Amino acid sequence: MSQDTRITLLHRLRDRDDQRSWEDFVDLYSRYLYTVARNLGLNHHDAEDALQQVFLKVSDKLATFEYSPASGRFRSWLCTVCRNTVRDLQRRRASRQRQQEVLQAEETPPPLELDQQAEKEWRDFLGNEALRIVRGRETALALSCFELHAAGKDIASIAAELGLAANTVYVYKARVVEQLSREIRRLRADFD
Average pLDDT over residues 144-164: 92
- For the segment 91-126, what is each residue's pLDDT rounded down to a tens digit? 877 765 665 665 666 655 556 677 788 888 888 888
Which residues make Cβ contacts (< 8 Å) with residue 171, sequence separation at least 6?
none
Of 175, 149, 178, 150, the residue nearest 162 (C-alpha): 149
The residue among 108 and 57 whose pLDDT is bigger is 57
pTM for the predicted model, two decimal places: 0.54
Cα 46 to Cα 27: distance, rounded to the nearest angstrom: 19
- For the segment 161-172, what is each residue's pLDDT rounded down to a tens digit? 999 998 888 899
Cα 178 to Cα 181: distance, rounded to the nearest angstrom: 5
